[in-house]
Structure formats: C-alpha cells, structure tokens
C-alpha cells in the first residue's frame, strides 16, 4: 500500500488539451455522495452482500450496523403514489415517448424523495392496471433484429422489448420500482441485448447471450431477475437468484447495480458472507467464494430459481480452473425448474456447447454483432515499437502529447505492473497499480479511488479486463499485447461504454508478430484502419492454442530494476566462473597428486 500513498503528487496534464476531461474530476458533491453510497448505506437503507464484507471498508460496517439491527435487509420505502411514474392507467410505448420530458422531471423528483424518506417498506405493487403488450408480428420482430444486428436462435422466441416503459405491462410485469429506477438514470430505450434477453428470461427461457462490451448485459439479467422473483421471500430456506462472476471486483459492481434497481421496492435481501442464506433473495459471488461457502455448508442453493453466469465464457472455458468449481455450484443448484443464463462479450462454439449441456433444451441464443467482435465505439490503434524500451518511450510520448484520462494500462503479469509503475510514476501522474495478489481491501481502495477520479492512470493485469464499468475511461493502453483475441476484445472494451467514444492503443514488437494477426482482424472488422501485412502474419491453429496459454518472456521495463537484475546476473556469472575455475584447479591438483602417488608406487615397486 505504500506505493499508493505516493500517488497524490501534482498533475502534469495540459489543461488546454484536457480541459473537458479535467472538469470531470473537479470535486463533485453528487458524484462523491453516490460513491460513498457504494460502501456506506444511505439513510434507512441497509444491505448486505456476500462480497461487501471486504468491499466495505471499515467506515461502512459500523454505520451499517447502527442503522439497522438485523443488518441484512434493504428497507427503502416505495414512492408515494403522487410521485409514481406509472400512475397512468394506460402507459403504452407511444405515451411514454411523448411524455419523455415530463417523466424525467417526475422521476428526478421521485428519486429525490426516495433519498429523503426512511419509512417502512410498502405493500406489494399491483401490476394489473397496465394494458398487456400487443402481440408482435414475426415480420416486425425480424425487422428489429436486423436493425440492431441481432442474431436470435431458438424456437418460439418471445418478442423483443423496444422501450423500458413496456416492461411493467403484462406479460412482462417487471416491478414498477425497477423501471422507475431505470428512468432516474435516463435509461429509456433498451440496448439490443436487453431488448431480447429480458423478455426471454422473464418467459423462463434459458439464455445464451453474446453482445459487445459496454452494451448493458448486467441490466439484461438483473431486470428479469426481479420480475422472476416477483417479491422478496423472507421464508425461503436459501437464496433464490445466484449470479456468478469471475472476479470479486465485478461481483461488487453487479451487486451495486442490483442495489440500484431494488431502491424503492420491498425488503429485498442480499446474502452477506458467512451469514445463513435463509430468507435471502439474491447472491452475487465468485466461484471460489461460493465453493468455499458450499463446502462449509454456509449457503443453500437448492432454492435457486435463476442462475446467471456473467462473463460466462471465462467460467465455462475448459482451459481455466473454473470449470470443476462451476460443476460443484451447478450440482448445488438442484432446482430442476431454474432458469439458467450465460452472458459474455466473446463466446466460442465450444463454450456455447459446454454451457448448453446444463441448460434446458432449446435455450434462446442471442448474438449481437458477432462472437468475438470489439466495440465499434472504440477507436483502435496497433502501434509498432521496436522493443520493450520502445514501449516505455511510446507511453511517455502518449502522456506528453496529451492522454485522455482516466487511462487503464494492461500488462501481462503482476511483476510488470510494478515495473511499469516504477518507470512512469516519476512523471507526476496520479498513477497506481492493481493486481490479484493485493488484499481485497487494497484492491477496493484502488478501484474506489479510480472511480472517484483520484487515480488518473491505473496499471493492471487481466484482473480488470472483464466486465468492470469505470465511467468515462478515455483510453486503454495494451502495453503488452493480449495473449488471446478474446482478452483483446474485453480489454479494449473498458472504454467506449454505453455509447461513449474511446481510444484503445495496443503496442507490439517484432516478438509479438505471431499474436498480431487475430487481433488485427478484430480491429479491422470493427472499423480500424489496419495495414494488410498485419493480417497476413498468420500462424496455424495449434500454434495459436500454444500461444494463448504461454506468457512471453520480456525484457524488464524498469530501468533501475533492469540494471539491478543485470548486475546480479553478472555477479552470478562471475561467481559461477570462479567456482568453475576453482573446480578446474582442484581437478588439476588431484590429477597431479594422483600422478605423484603413481610415481611413488612405481618407485616403491622399483625398490
């Protein structure tokens, strides 16, 4: 942690270049308040999660306990009826569109009101006052799919949803508070993956969805989760919805989104680590944490009604260590009627087949754009650097010429996060590093500070390559070229999120040529101007597989460390040479002694 304390040094960004970006980081009370709320529940709101025992920060825990005695419930009052967005009896799509301005004002008022109240939870919402959604013709469905580059497979596919206001209407019946909350964020129109995945899951169909990074997959499974669960069930013996994510950081982020959606609803409960799961509704966790809870019999998954694998290709990839753990979890989710869903931005056919083996027959398969395609809102550049030192020079040049902060830099190993941190920290940047060997408290602190804009440049490993939604990341730099095309898609997808534009720069040297072609292909397909020679550097499939699991050896990028390691190596070589010399001398000495002995023997024989 000492390294992080050195980060609050002055900035050296050019204000004329970064004026707009810097404004984002000026103290913003509203943003700070919402940041604080991630770990510190607001008035009248208490929520526990399986992860927040470590996310939570020492400051949050005592507040939490003092605000609620039985610390495991969200207790937010529903909106007063005068502020309900859905008070109109006929809240159709057209009406919603024309009332857009009015709604957003009412929604802001409603949100403010929720913040201020601290009363008991409301009675269940009545949904019958909404008119049912009209049936959609097959032709209209196909038009929507075409318009949004959606490929949808499966039989009897539920009609896509074109506006969030339709969600409250039968047969979807999403709780009103969920939709109210979407409107407070000005989310009115679903993204393509949401359009199709939400109705499919609500109709209890298993779903396999592959859609670009930053296209709203989290809400695509959380919204139907609330519709499927309908009401909190304090009598349930175990959790009813389970979301599995590959990293703790992502699990915490998903919980935050769930927390956002359940505001204003009834007393939904999220599981806290170590607590009994009795009477709890939702659990978001990593496979490792879950497996350990299952082993200790601290979690009952037999009641799970909806099981979601976020970043599912990582969890279902048989080249990773997750698969046996995932098997244990699936075995524990013994309810045969559960709905199973997998969401990702990159899905190979092998992963799809693996996942389908635990789903009901005929799941709805949704692919937006392609199986491994980069987000088109990200401007992608592949930059040749002569060698490792050339990469350091290139990073410095980027910073000097005016980088768009916040910036995320990916390297291939934990060691290299430290090396690069030491190499660029002297440039007066608010720079930090994060990797999986840090404690969860340290990681939380870095992530929070990055979110708050206190850290401008964050150096990381694959740990943050997937799922993490940092608002406003302007630039991603692949300092070390990713090992796989999938990793490339996820890494560059940390920018250009939710319709915003971003820049992703990938450095490569002559040593990286074998890895370049598939990445260049993805960049080209998403509109980057890629030179043909890069696409022609193909390797065969076998070699491609080898490369994907082999981290290349690279020269140390930190000058001090390189000199030190170089000196140590020279020292070791000198000592080895000396030892060899000594050994040689010893050998010669003993040969001579042997010869002398032989001579003596001969002398003796002569005698």
Ligand X SMILES: Nc1ncnc2c1ncn2[C@@H]1O[C@H](COP(=O)(O)OP(=O)(O)OP(=O)(O)O)[C@@H](O)[C@H]1O
- Count of residues touching ligand X (by CB under 6 A): 19
The encoded tokens of residue 334 equal: 């013994």
Classify strands 150-153 and 364-368 as parallel, antiparallel or unpaired.
antiparallel
Q: CB-wise, 385 or 492, nearer to ligand X?
A: 492
Minimum distance of ligand X from residue 343's CB (angstroms): 7
Shortest Å distance, C-beta 225 to ligand X: 13
The site map against ligand X for 31-50 (x = CB under 6 A) is --------------------
Are the beta carbons of 260 and 181 closer than 8 angstroms? yes
Which of 24, 427 has the CB closer to ligand X? 24
Q: How far is the CB of 62 from ligand X (least distance, A)?
A: 30
Q: Who's near 494: CB < 8 A, 6+ residues apart?
A: 213, 408, 464, 465, 468, 470, 473, 476
Of 329-348, binders to ligand X (CB under 6 A) are: 345
Shortest distance in whole angstroms from residue 217 CB to ligand X: 3
Applying CB under 6 A, which of residues 190, 370, 405, 496 lies at the interface with ligand X? 190
Among 21-29, 66-74, 186-194, 583-591, the segment contacting ligand X (CB under 6 A):
186-194
Binding mask 68-107 for ligand X (x = CB under 6 A): ----------------------------------------
- Closest separation in Å from C-beta 256 to ligand X: 10
CB closest to ligand X, residue no: 216
Distances (CA, A) of 15 to 24, 137, 313, 328: 13, 54, 42, 53
Nearer to ligand X among residue 343 and residue 507 (C-beta): 343
Query: Are the beta carbons of 254 and 310 closer than 8 angstroms?
Result: yes
Closest approach of Cβ 213 to ligand X, in Å? Answer: 4
- Of 1, 545, 555, 500, whose CA–CA distance to 216 is shortest? 500
Determine how β-strand 475-478 pairs with β-strand 502-508.
parallel
Residue 230: CB minimum distance to ligand X, A: 22
Check residue 467 for interaction with ligand X (CB under 6 A). yes
Say if residues 3 and 433 touch (Cβ distance below 8 Å).
yes
User: Which one, 219 or 392, has the nearer CB to ligand X?
Assistant: 219
Element (H, E) at 410: strand 407-410
The candidate with the shortest Cα–Cα distance to 99, out of 163, 148, 162, 171, is: 163
Which CB sits closer to ligand X, 191 or 412?
Answer: 191
Stretch that binds ligand X, among 59-67, 491-499, 502-510, 540-548 (CB under 6 A): 491-499
> Looking at 497, 515, 524, 554, which residue binds ligand X (CB under 6 A)?
497
Each residue 204-243 as x (binds ligand X by CB under 6 A) or -, in order, gives -------x-xxxxxxx------------------------
Q: Are 342 and 456 in contact (CB under 8 A)?
A: no
Find all residues with CB under 8 Å of 50, minimum gap 6, and list them. 251, 270, 271, 272, 273, 283, 284, 285, 289, 293
> Is there binding between residue 165 and ligand X (CB under 6 A)?
no
In angstroms, rounded to a whole number, what is the distance separating the alpha carbons of residues 15 and 13? 6
Among 469, 480, 486, 512, contact with ligand X (rule: CB under 6 A): 469
Q: Counting contacts by CB under 6 A, is residue 376 touching ligand X? A: no
DSSP 346: B
CA gap 21, 503 in Å, rounded: 14
Residue of the chain from 493, 496, 502, 518 that contacts ligand X (CB under 6 A) = 493
Cα–Cα distances (Å) from 489 to 194, 493, 593, in that order, read 20, 6, 70
Residue 168 structure tokens? 């409250």
Answer positive or negative: Cα dihedral of 196, 197, 198, 199: positive
CA diameter of the chain: 129
Q: What contacts 200, CB < 8 A, 6 or more positions away?
A: 157, 158, 207, 364, 366
Q: Which of 53, 54, 163, 187 binds ligand X (CB under 6 A)?
A: 187
Q: How far is the CB of 182 from ligand X (least distance, A)?
A: 7
Count CB-CB contacts under 10 A for residue 452: 15
Q: How far is the CB of 34 from ligand X (least distance, A)?
A: 12
Nearer to ligand X, 300 or 317 (CB): 317
| Interaction site with ligand X (CB under 6 A) | 187, 189-191, 194, 211, 213-219, 345, 467, 469, 493, 497-498
């Amino acid at each position: 942690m000492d390294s992080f304390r050195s980060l609050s040094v002055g900035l050296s960004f050019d204000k004329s270049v970064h004026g707009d970006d810097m404004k984002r980081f000026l103290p913003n009370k509203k943003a700070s308040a919402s940041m604080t709320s991630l770990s510190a529940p607001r008035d009248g709101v208490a929520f526990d999660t399986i992860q927040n025992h470590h996310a939570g920060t020492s400051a949050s825990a005592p507040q939490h306990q003092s605000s609620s005695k039985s610390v495991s419930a969200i207790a937010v009052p529903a909106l007063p009826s005068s502020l309900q967005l859905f008070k109109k009896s006929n809240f159709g799509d057209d009406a919603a569109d024309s009332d857009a301005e009015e709604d957003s004002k009412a929604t802001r008022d409603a949100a403010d009101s929720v913040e201020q109240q601290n009363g008991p939870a409301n009675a269940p919402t009545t949904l019958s006052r909404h008119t049912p959604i009209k049936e959609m013709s097959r032709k209209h469905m196909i038009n929507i799919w075409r318009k949004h580059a959606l490929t949808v497979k499966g039989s009897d596919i539920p009609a896509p949803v074109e506006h969030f206001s339709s969600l409250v209407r039968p047969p979807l019946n999403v709780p009103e508070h969920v939709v109210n909350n979407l409107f407070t964020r000005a989310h009115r129109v679903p993204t393509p993956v949401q359009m199709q995945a939400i109705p499919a899951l609500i109709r209890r169909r298993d779903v396999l969805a592959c859609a670009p990074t930053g296209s709203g997959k989290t809400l695509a499974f959380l919204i139907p989760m609330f519709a499927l669960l309908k009401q909190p069930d304090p009598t349930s013996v175990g959790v009813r919805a389970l979301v599995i994510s590959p990293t703790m950081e992502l699990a915490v982020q998903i919980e935050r989104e769930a927390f956002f959606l359940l505001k204003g609803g009834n007393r939904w409960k999220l599981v806290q680590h170590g607590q009994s799961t009795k009477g709890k509704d939702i659990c978001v966790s990593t496979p490792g944490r879950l497996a350990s809870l299952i082993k200790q019999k601290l979690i009952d998954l037999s009641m799970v009604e909806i099981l979601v694998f976020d970043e599912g290709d990582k969890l279902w990839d048989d080249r990773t260590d997750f698969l046996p753990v995932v098997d244990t979890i699936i075995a524990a989710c013994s309810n045969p009627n559960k709905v199973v869903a997998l969401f990702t931005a990159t899905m190979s056919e092998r992963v799809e087949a693996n996942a389908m083996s635990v789903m009901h027959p005929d799941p709805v398969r949704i692919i937006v754009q392609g199986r491994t395609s980069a987000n088109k809102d990200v401007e992608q550049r592949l930059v040749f650097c002569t060698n490792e030192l050339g990469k350091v020079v290139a990073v410095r040049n980027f910073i000097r010429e005016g980088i768009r902060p916040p910036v995320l830099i990916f390297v291939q190993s934990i060691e290299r996060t430290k090396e690069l941190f030491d190499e660029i920290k002297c440039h007066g940047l608010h720079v930090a590093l994060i990797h999986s060997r840090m404690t969860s408290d340290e990681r939380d602190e870095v992530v929070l500070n990055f979110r708050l804009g206190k850290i401008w440049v964050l150096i990381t490993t694959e740990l943050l390559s997937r799922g993490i939604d940092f608002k406003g990341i302007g630039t991603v730099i692949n300092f070390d070229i990713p090992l796989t095309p999938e990793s490339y898609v996820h890494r560059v997808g940390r920018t250009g999120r939710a319709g915003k534009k971003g820049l992703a720069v990938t450095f490569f040297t002559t040593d990286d040529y074998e890895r370049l072609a598939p990445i260049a292909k993805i960049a080209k397909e998403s509109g980057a101007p890629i030179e043909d020679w890069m696409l022609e550097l193909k390797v065969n499939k076998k070699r491609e597989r080898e490369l994907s699991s082999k981290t290349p050896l690279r020269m140390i990028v930190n000058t001090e460390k390189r000199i030190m390691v170089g000196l140590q190596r020279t020292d070791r070589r000198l000592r080895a040479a000396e030892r060899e010399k000594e050994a040689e001398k010893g050998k010669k000495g003993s040969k001579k002694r042997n010869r002398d002995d032989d001579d003596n023997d001969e002398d003796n024989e002569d005698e």
